[in-house]
Amino acid sequence: MIVSATRTIVLALLLARAAPAQNAVPAERVAAREWFRDARFGMFIHWGVYSQLGAGEWVMEQRGIPIPTYEWLASAFNPVKFDAREWVSLAKAAGVGYITITARHHDGFSMFASKVTSYDIVDWTPFKRDPMAELAAECRRQGIKLFFYYSQLDWHHTDYFPRGNTGAKAGRADTGDWTRYLEFMDKQLTELLTGYGPIGGIWFDGMWDKPSAEWQLPRTYDLIHRLQPSALIVPNHHKAPMAGEDVQTFEQDLPGANTTGYRKDATVSDLPLETSLTMNGAWGFNITDKNFKSTRELIGYIVRAAGHGANLLLNIGPRPDGTIQPEAVERLREIGRWLSTYGPSIYATRAGPVSPRDWGATTRRGDTVFVHVLKWPDRVLSLPDVGGRVVRGRMFVSGETVAVTQDGAGVTLTLPASVGAEPDRVIVLTLSR
Ligand code: FHN
């Protein structure tokens, strides 16, 4: 009896080992997730018909613009100065590894050539060009990955019914076929995944508009992964990750924080992480919002995100003619200059042994720990356990030795006198193996 029970347990263990784990992530996607983790910095772009009004991407909803009026606005969209090469070169100069751009935002207007609607930039506007195709080609040329933002919420489509919490003022009839809407989305996603070469992934947004709707996510996620096995799914649904999703993204908040109120459940998963952030207070072009964060602050965000093991997805809202606001250009170039020196303490790192603190953050690569001091007035800085014995401490840029004392309580660093305005003083600690 005992022998046969033991035999059953052993057999079960062997079978469990032989059977592929359920929900196992295929190798291509595991590699893509690692790539994503290494990238650490991305550029978010909110750009569309709404940019013309210079009042953010929610202007249709916020001003209660009815569909016929918004359709007219769309028919006037003609961003003649759009130059994919300029945008991607700027992204490159900023040091990002990927761009995430609004292929379709909540206004329901497709910023790409779609065959399943005429409400798209090629069919509906005098511009007639497909900026997503131009960006995809240019990103490939310059070695940057392109992700498409795709809104599941739609203020224009007749089949987005029953309506969610928004879109009541657009003036649609109270009818629609939800199944047909889901099919429409899947067809558009198929276009984005088959017509633009290999893409980084799809960044979903808007599901929060109808939290209890039957979204059929497994069907859509399977479709995406079938069409492009290494495309990542980045859902901005503000909830804990669901099956098939690849990245946990946090809006205007570092992982685990909930200053925005979006995350009632601020749990941080072990998926790759991302924080999206506006450079001023708006995602889409806002002509009066000049409240841009300083370069120093933005560098601080990159560092703190990396200290949480997350990427920073920093937004710009280009103007309706296709140009980018000088304030954004200036900051991106300055960040790029900073990263050209300090990049090794950010790129391809993981969260460091000391979780982010008010004074800064730590990152890690192998046996090397980077201590990022963003604001600390004193020369002596004490840290708790750094995860090993420190054999050497030095300043990242000058190589100057940093005196290190270590005991059971942690590590104390004596930094050279500060030379002033550096946004981040980086100390490199080498741990013994
Ligand atoms: O409603 C959108 C908003 O317009 C913008 O796209 C941001 C980007 O993270 N996400 C939504 C709000 O959660």
- Any long-range contacts for 361-368 (C-beta under 8 Å, 24+ apart)? 361/303, 361/304, 361/306, 361/307, 361/308, 362/307, 362/386, 363/303, 363/306, 363/307, 367/430, 367/431, 367/432, 367/433, 368/428, 368/429, 368/430, 368/431
283, 289, 311: residue to mutate for ligand 1 pocket, most atoms within 8 A of CB = 283
Ligand 1 atom with the shortest distance to the CA of 238: 13
Any atom of ligand 1 within 6 Å of the Cβ of 246: no
* Distance of alpha carbon 124 from alpha carbon 133, whole angstroms: 17
Q: For 284-312, what is the mean pLDDT?
A: 98
Per mean pLDDT, which range of 100-104, 169-173, 364-368, 417-421 is the poorest?
Answer: 417-421
Ligand 1 atom with the shortest distance to the CA of 284: 4
Check pLDDT > 70 for residue 276: yes
Check pLDDT > 90 for residue 364: yes
Burial group, residue 360, by CB count within 10 angstroms (0-12, 13-18, 19+): buried
End-to-end CA distance of the chain: 49
Whole-number pLDDT of residue 421: 77
Helix H or strand E segment including 264: none
* Distance of alpha carbon 415 from alpha carbon 369, whole angstroms: 15
DSSP state of 209: G
Confidence tier at 361 by pLDDT (50, 70, 90): very high
Any atom of ligand 1 within 6 Å of the Cβ of 228: no
Ligand 1 atom with the shortest distance to the CA of 208: 13
Contact between 315 and 293 (Cβ < 8 Å): no
Confidence tier at 259 by pLDDT (50, 70, 90): confident
Looking at every residue in the chain, the average pLDDT score rounds to 94
Contact between 236 and 251 (Cβ < 8 Å): yes
Any atom of ligand 1 within 6 Å of the Cβ of 278: no
Q: How far apart are the CA of 106 and the centre of ligand 1, in A?
A: 9
Q: How far apart are the CA of 411 and the centre of ligand 1, in A?
A: 41
Check pLDDT > 90 for residue 296: yes
| Interior angle at CA 132, CA 187 and CA 100, nearest 5 | 95
Q: How far apart are the CA of 276 and the centre of ligand 1, in A?
A: 9
Any atom of ligand 1 within 6 Å of the Cβ of 102: no
Whole-number pLDDT of residue 4: 45
58, 155, 166, 236: residue to mutate for ligand 1 pocket, most atoms within 8 A of CB = 236
Any atom of ligand 1 within 6 Å of the Cβ of 406: no
Q: For 236-261, what is the mean pLDDT?
A: 92
Confidence tier at 377 by pLDDT (50, 70, 90): confident
Whole-number pLDDT of residue 8: 40
Any atom of ligand 1 within 6 Å of the Cβ of 236: yes
Any atom of ligand 1 within 6 Å of the Cβ of 205: yes
Ligand 1 atom with the shortest distance to the CA of 283: 5
Q: For 295-319, what is the mean pLDDT?
A: 98
Ligand 1 atom with the shortest distance to the CA of 46: 6
Any atom of ligand 1 within 6 Å of the Cβ of 283: yes
Backbone angles phi, psi at 308, to 5 degrees: -90, 5
Check pLDDT > 50 for residue 14: no
- Token match 């795709």: residue? 150
Per residue in 64-109, pLDDT (tens digit) is 999 999 999 999 999 999 999 999 999 999 999 999 999 999 999 9
Whole-number pLDDT of residue 23: 67
Whole-number pLDDT of residue 433: 72
Q: Which of 164 and 417 is assigned the larger pLDDT?
A: 164
Q: Strand 145-151's sheet: what is its strand order?
A: 232-236, 201-205, 145-151, 98-104, 41-45, 310-316, 273-277, 248-251
* Dihedral sign computed on CA atoms, order 235, 362, 389, 381: negative
Contact between 45 and 323 (Cβ < 8 Å): no
Check pLDDT > 80 for residue 12: no
Q: How far apart are the CA of 292 and the centre of ligand 1, in A?
A: 18
Check pLDDT > 70 for residue 251: yes
Per-residue exposure over 300-313, b if at least 16 CB sit within 10 Å of its own CB, e if not: bbbbbbbbbbbbbb
Confidence tier at 267 by pLDDT (50, 70, 90): confident
Q: Where are the alpha helices (DSSP H) in 211-260?
A: 217-227
Whole-number pLDDT of residue 51: 98
Whole-number pLDDT of residue 266: 64
Whole-number pLDDT of residue 339: 98
Check pLDDT > 60 for residue 2: no
Ligand 1 atom with the shortest distance to the CA of 102: 6
What residue type is assigned to position 240 of the chain? A
Per residue in 174-201, pLDDT (tens digit) is 999 999 999 999 999 999 999 999 999 9
Q: For 387-403, what is the mean pLDDT?
A: 96
Q: How far apart are the CA of 361 and the centre of ligand 1, in A?
A: 27
* Dihedral sign computed on CA atoms, order 91, 284, 227, 25: positive
Task: Report the nearest-CA residue for atom 5 of ligand 1.
Answer: 283
Contact between 166 and 158 (Cβ < 8 Å): no
Per residue in 113-164, pLDDT (tens digit) is 999 999 999 999 999 999 999 999 999 999 999 999 999 999 999 999 999 9
153, 205, 258, 286: residue to mutate for ligand 1 pocket, most atoms within 8 A of CB = 205
Whole-number pLDDT of residue 13: 42
Ligand 1 atom with the shortest distance to the CA of 262: 13
Report the share of the chain in percent with pLDDT over 90: 89
**DSSP notation for 56-82:** -TTHHHHTT--HHHHHHHHHT---TT-
Whole-number pLDDT of residue 257: 85
**Global confidence as pTM:** 0.94
Check pLDDT > 70 for residue 1: no
